[in-house]
Structure 1
Amino acid sequence: MQRRQIIVVGGGLAGTATALGLASAGFDTLLAAPPAPEDKRSSAILGRSLAFLADLGVLDALGEARAPLAVMRIVDDLGRLFRAPTVEFRASEIGLTAFGINTLNADLATALQACTAKRENLEILPLAATGLTQSDDRAIVSFADGSEMGADLVVAADGRRSAMREAAGIGARQWSYPQTAIVLNFEHTRDHGAVSTEFHTRTGPFTQVPLPGRRSSLVWVEDPKLAELYVELKPEKLASTIADKLHWILGEVTVDGPVARYPLGGSRVERLTGTRLALVGEAAHAFPPIGAQGLNLGLRDAEALVRLAEESRDDPGSRLMLSRYEAGRRGDVVSRTAGVDILNRSLLMDFLPSQIARSGTMAAMGLVGPLRQFAMREGLVPGAGIAGLPRSVKKWMGGHEAARDPVEDERHGRH
């Protein structure tokens, strides 16, 4: 039977980044990644996640296929009695020129693949993993063609319905939301100014995120029945609807390319590890697209696993290494999953005390500079709210030139 030091199961963004990181650290790595359909979504890469990808050469491989995120604006568009003030989080407040970048998932996947192709100690196997057998000294992965391979460590990055997690007997609590995400890209006649605007509506977030040029991506969380009607609109009518919901801050809108929709749900696992097994990405956690937390959480899983495996080089799947991974990641995963879930549910609630609490929190963020700066640092790097941002993050997030803000231009009469 063939054997590798590490087998990563799942060729999504988090899985491929994990495999690339482990191979870059010198481990003999196999990535089991059957061909996947093209992902039409985009991802905002922030903080430590950006530094991790940059150190692996992925930013260089992306080239110009990325846009900086200099300002994140949250707008209360709920139309309720207690309206929260608009809050703007500016990277310049914490000494950065950008929080990170936004890029199309397809472009990020291409950049990751270009980097993996350069790693001689990283083999890509285009087969699905179908089974897992665990013992104290090794794990054995079974593949769709009937072959098997042993490893010191198996990394399950095969999504929220992870076959590896199920084979290991790790339970997961899964839930659904009465929401569907409409995902598309669009062109607009006004510059976005490196500003991402998230409108909080009664059905969920309506979030515009910059892409290169006068283009943006949109994640529009809507009632499932309404979402079905919206995606069937003619492109011109859909574009007009989007411009209205954006309050015309980006001018005229043209829908660019296909429109996709995804049902929303979440999951939380009993534990992040098993014998010779570690979970990363959506195999370990899943939640709605709020605050750019999903992929960033998965990339922090990858970064932590690579670092701990390096410190346990003689046996990267040892109980000690896996215990450290479990302990180190549990707090971040639980807090982010719970935080996003609470915020998303608060948008759907008409309960008056909930509205007051949410509005009060947003008002405090807008008025109290130190609180706002704490939230920004903590959002980029867990633990950095008090300790400050690490040098690796400052290195990769201090060199973007922020473009002009169209809303500020309007306020000051600039054109």
Structure 2
Amino acid sequence: MDHYDIAIIGAGLAGSLTAIALARKGHRVALVGPKPAIADGRTTALMDQSIGYLKTLGLWDETEPLTAPLVAIRILDGTRRLFRAPPVNFRASEVGLEAFGYNIPNSPFLDILEKHEMALSTLERTTAAAARFDLGGAEVLIGLGDGRTISADLVIGADGRRSTVREAAGIDVKTWSYPQAAIVLNFGHELPHQDVSTEFHTESGPFTQVPLPGNRSSLVWVQKPHDAEETLKLAPDALSRTIEDRMQSILGKITTEGTPQSFPLSGLAARRFGKGRILLVGEAAHAFPPIGAQGLNLSLRDIMTLVDLIGRPAGSRLPADTGDRFDGRRRADIVSRTASVDLLNRSLLSNFLPVQALRAAGLHLLASAGPLRGLLMREGIHPGSALQAFKEGLREQIGRKSA
């Protein structure tokens, strides 16, 4: 029976990145899971901190040509409500960056990760599914769908919302749903996007255009489920015209590409993010609507934390309480991000006038208050940095008064 330091269950973006990061540290890693049945047509906007980590892993040089930078993010109120907000523009230059991050197509990104997996001598990739787990001994036994059994000191669940690893560990989840579905697609356009992402806030949710290389962009369009069904029925020309109208023709003529995909929106939070020899990353631990480019960025912070926690191979078995320590280190970040995305999404859906007024007032404040806008941008890019900047500023003011 083959033994590994770490077995990672789930070979999507989160699982593949985890496997590469740990294998590069010298751990013997098994990456377990079948390839996706269909190509993932979505894109992922990774922020500056995440891009820095891709560079650390040696992945950025091959990935960068696929991407488009996000030099600015523009929020426009597309509602017809009594309380409407002014346009808000966030520019990376305001916080000393060339770009907030980069938008990456998921499918070719996975291809790059697979290439790097094959080049790592300490990483073994198996496309068999994990069928059963035995957590009762000094190591975890994993029965595979091809009849083999492997063992590992630690098991990382990166196997999505219906995580078999989470279930085997007996970790409960809190789930919730929204009366929304997200349509995702890519499209070409007549006018250049100038590396600006535009997010229209509508009564049914955000309508978000994110740049791709050239005169192309990706779209995440959140609608009511019935409206999403009707949108998917549109012929390509009619869909292109509908998107152009929704975007107020700011990018000129629109031409959609391929077949749109649709996903119901819901949320999930594990009650624990680690337990004993089990650790959860990505959507096995947390999932929420595609708002504010938080999903994979949060997952990459999971990965950064676990790699730092596990460290390099020490010649002995990895500790049996690693999952419990990981849970403590990830809790504050995951809980705060999940709550903030949920609050923003529900504020768009609410018909309660005081809620609409508060949301509009908040965007008015962001539009007019540069320092506050800067703090918010720093926090979005590097979580925890806004609080640190506030503390440093407070110390500086106290120091001046004492001098």
Distance of 2:319 and 2:376 partners within structure 1:
36
In structure 1, the residue matched to 2:35 is: 35
- Report Cα offsets for 1:72-93 as digits up to 9, x if no partner: 1111112111111111111000
Cα distance change of structure 1 residues 315 and 242 upon mapping to structure 2, 3 Å threshold? farther
In structure 2, the residue matched to 1:409 is: none
Specify the code of the residue in structure 2 equivalent to 1:17: L
SS in 1 for 2:311: helix
In structure 2, the residue matched to 1:275 is: 276
How far does residue 319 in structure 1 lie from its aligned partner after superposition? Answer: 4.5
Specify the code of the residue in structure 1 equivalent to 2:339: A
**Structure 2 residue 17 is matched with structure 1 residue 17:** yes
How far does residue 322 in structure 1 lie from its aligned partner after superposition? Answer: 3.0
SS in 2 for 1:288: coil
Contact 2:25–2:312 (8 Å) recurs in 1: no
How far does residue 258 in structure 1 lie from its aligned partner after superposition? Answer: 1.5
In structure 2, the residue matched to 1:187 is: 188
In structure 2, the residue matched to 1:234 is: 235
Specify the code of the residue in structure 2 equivalent to 1:155: I
Cα distance change of structure 1 residues 277 and 236 upon mapping to structure 2, 3 Å threshold? same
Aligned Cα root-mean-square deviation (Å): 1.4
Matches within 5 A, 1:292-303: 292-303=293-304
How far does residue 47 in structure 1 lie from its aligned partner after superposition? Answer: 2.7
How far does residue 299 in structure 1 lie from its aligned partner after superposition? Answer: 1.2
**Structure 2 residue 138 is matched with structure 1 residue 137:** yes
SS in 2 for 1:64: helix
Distance of 2:371 and 2:251 partners within structure 1:
30
In structure 1, the residue matched to 2:6 is: 6
- Report Cα offsets for 1:194-223 as digits up to 9, x if no partner: 111111101111000000000000000011
Distance of 2:72 and 2:35 partners within structure 1:
36
**Structure 2 residue 371 is matched with structure 1 residue 385:** no
Contact 2:26–2:313 (8 Å) recurs in 1: no
In structure 1, the residue matched to 2:48 is: 47
Distance of 1:58 and 1:164 partners within structure 2:
28
In structure 1, the residue matched to 2:167 is: 166
In structure 1, the residue matched to 2:398 is: none
Cα distance change of structure 1 residues 116 and 178 upon mapping to structure 2, 3 Å threshold? same
SS in 1 for 2:234: coil
In structure 2, the residue matched to 1:209 is: 210
1 or 2 for the larger relative contact order (CA 8 Å, sep ≥6)? 1
Contact 1:153–1:316 (8 Å) recurs in 2: no
How far does residue 314 in structure 1 lie from its aligned partner after superposition? Answer: 5.1
Contact 1:33–1:128 (8 Å) recurs in 2: yes
Specify the code of the residue in structure 2 equivalent to 1:48: Q
Contact 1:44–1:101 (8 Å) recurs in 2: yes
Contact 1:135–1:275 (8 Å) recurs in 2: no
Contact 1:3–1:150 (8 Å) recurs in 2: yes
Cα distance change of structure 1 residues 312 and 346 upon mapping to structure 2, 3 Å threshold? farther
SS in 1 for 2:291: coil
Matches within 5 A, 1:12-411: 12-36=12-36, 37-135=38-136, 137-310=138-311, 313=314, 317-387=318-388
Contact 2:187–2:256 (8 Å) recurs in 1: yes
Contact 1:136–1:275 (8 Å) recurs in 2: no
Contact 2:347–2:355 (8 Å) recurs in 1: yes
How far does residue 59 in structure 1 lie from its aligned partner after superposition? Answer: 1.3
Distance of 2:7 and 2:353 partners within structure 1:
50
Contact 2:276–2:322 (8 Å) recurs in 1: no
Specify the code of the residue in structure 1 equivalent to 2:51: L
Distance of 2:317 and 2:101 partners within structure 1:
31
How far does residue 365 in structure 1 lie from its aligned partner after superposition? Answer: 1.2
How far does residue 386 in structure 1 lie from its aligned partner after superposition? Answer: 3.4
SS in 1 for 2:119: coil
Contact 2:14–2:299 (8 Å) recurs in 1: yes
Distance of 1:306 and 1:314 partners within structure 2:
16
Contact 2:103–2:212 (8 Å) recurs in 1: yes
- Report Cα offsets for 1:85-123 as digits up to 9, x if no partner: 111111000000001100110121112112212111111
TM-score, length basis structure 1: 0.91
Cα distance change of structure 1 residues 11 and 305 upon mapping to structure 2, 3 Å threshold? same
How far does residue 29 in structure 1 lie from its aligned partner after superposition? Answer: 0.4
Cα distance change of structure 1 residues 316 and 50 upon mapping to structure 2, 3 Å threshold? farther
SS in 2 for 1:11: coil
Distance of 2:388 and 2:24 partners within structure 1:
29
SS in 2 for 1:110: helix
- Report Cα offsets for 1:107-146 as digits up to 9, x if no partner: 2111211221211111100011122221462111121123
TM-score, length basis structure 2: 0.93
- Report Cα offsets for 1:324-346 as digits up to 9, x if no partner: 32122111110111111111111
Specify the code of the residue in structure 2 equivalent to 1:124: R
Cα distance change of structure 1 residues 137 and 257 upon mapping to structure 2, 3 Å threshold? same
Contact 1:277–1:317 (8 Å) recurs in 2: no
- Report Cα offsets for 1:160-199 as digits up to 9, x if no partner: 1001100110001112211111110000011101111111
Unaligned 5+ segments in structure 1 are 389-415
Q: Which runs of 4+ in 1 moved over 4 A?
A: 311-317
In structure 2, the residue matched to 1:399 is: none
Distance of 1:361 and 1:127 partners within structure 2:
49
